[in-house]
Amino acid sequence: MPSLSCATLAVLLTGLGLNLPTNAPAARAPTSLNAAEIRLALEKLNVLGRVLYVAAHPDDENTRLVSYWANGALYETAYLSLTRGDGGQNLIGPELREQLGVIRTQELLAARRIDHGRQFFTRANDFGYSKSVDETLRIWDREKILADVVWVIRKFRPDVIVTRFALEDDVTHGHHTASAMLTQEAFHAAADPKRFPEQLKFVQPLQPARLLWNTSEFFFRARNIPFDPQGLFKIEAGGYQPLLGKSYAELEAASRTMHKSQGFGVNIDRGAQKEFFKLLDGKPVEEGNLFSGIDATWRRVPKGADLARKIDALIARYDVKHPAASV
């Protein structure tokens, strides 16, 4: 059967009472990696570490960290937004509630295409500003959303989980504190086969190695207390990825700008970029390394050492001028 053009399809649907624009855009052309991006993908193939970043809304994620982890440290990195942002504002159009949730979902997916992270959601409803975590968990149905967070952990199987917000009653939003509390509970529940056993037909229990809070000076200022890095550890998230021809700050800025309905965007700050963390649960952190004591190589997979050697050999032979020779 011959295919129909967009214009022809629009005419047929209009005849059925569906008014669609005849200038509908053509389907997006499939993307392909250039030779340098293929080389980066090969290098990433040799890193098995996984990081899950968790917060409440679209735009809560730390795009600097997502960009650095996914493109610098080469960890498989994902952001779990508990809501789809239905209760936020919209600076670019009249859409609100569910329609805005669709827009903000697409903004998050667009951001991940830039910073090369993965994206997950739960069924939590962004019902607008919440004054307390108790109100949030009551409206969300705590067990239902906890089950969703456990499902993502068991499915994505992160080594390290990082929350954007503190466990203490947050001064900014009940949703924020609830996201951290549910994450801590899910950190343990994901390893317990008695919790949400219906999931075990599809996934297996998992105990991640550690749970961290990604803090910053902002959280101290919000409580009117001076920033004190005592008891925190830091990592350097600045730098440059030569295979992409971009700094992590450039990836961060481009990713952040995708949150158009919120009017977000950041300047590109090149140079050192410190990120601070507090250990909330799990294995102690050694020497400021999120993956200390965690084998992020193929050695953690049975007979994986041989596969790692083959990948190393492939990388050594790879020629950016003739990438097809590695097929």
| Tokens 């097809």, located at residue | 324
Question: In terms of domains, do 178 and 68 share one?
Answer: yes
Tell me the C-alpha distance between 308 and 203, whole Å.
26
Question: In terms of domains, do 214 and 112 share one?
Answer: yes
Question: In terms of domains, do 149 and 217 share one?
Answer: yes
Is 289 domain-assigned?
yes
Question: In terms of domains, do 125 and 220 share one?
Answer: yes
Is 17 domain-assigned?
no
Question: In terms of domains, do 56 and 37 share one?
Answer: no
Question: In terms of domains, do 270 and 316 share one?
Answer: no
Question: In terms of domains, do 322 and 239 share one?
Answer: no
Sequence-distant (6+) residues with CB within 8 A of 163 are 53, 54, 55, 179, 180, 183, 184, 211, 212, 213, 214, 280
Q: Show the tokens assigned to 89.
A: 């504002």
CATH classification at residue 219? 3.40.50.10320
Is 11 domain-assigned?
no
Question: In terms of domains, do 36 and 78 share one?
Answer: no
Tell me the C-alpha distance between 304 and 211, whole Å.
27
Number of domains in the chain: 2
Is 183 domain-assigned?
yes
Is 25 domain-assigned?
no
Question: In terms of domains, do 303 and 173 share one?
Answer: no
Question: In terms of domains, do 210 and 126 share one?
Answer: yes
Is 15 domain-assigned?
no
User: Which residue range is the domain that position 251 belongs to?
Assistant: 49-296
Tell me the C-alpha distance between 212 and 161, whole Å.
6
Question: In terms of domains, do 323 and 265 share one?
Answer: no
Question: In terms of domains, do 200 and 161 share one?
Answer: yes
| Tokens 């730390």, located at residue | 62
Per-residue pLDDT of the chain (327 residues; tens, 9 = 90+): 444 444 433 333 334 343 444 444 455 656 788 999 999 999 999 999 999 999 999 999 999 999 999 999 999 999 999 999 998 889 988 888 989 999 999 999 999 999 999 999 999 999 888 888 999 999 999 999 999 999 999 999 999 999 999 888 656 689 999 999 999 999 999 999 999 999 999 999 999 999 999 998 877 777 778 877 888 999 999 999 999 999 999 999 999 999 999 888 777 777 788 999 999 999 999 988 999 999 999 999 998 999 999 999 999 999 988 888 887
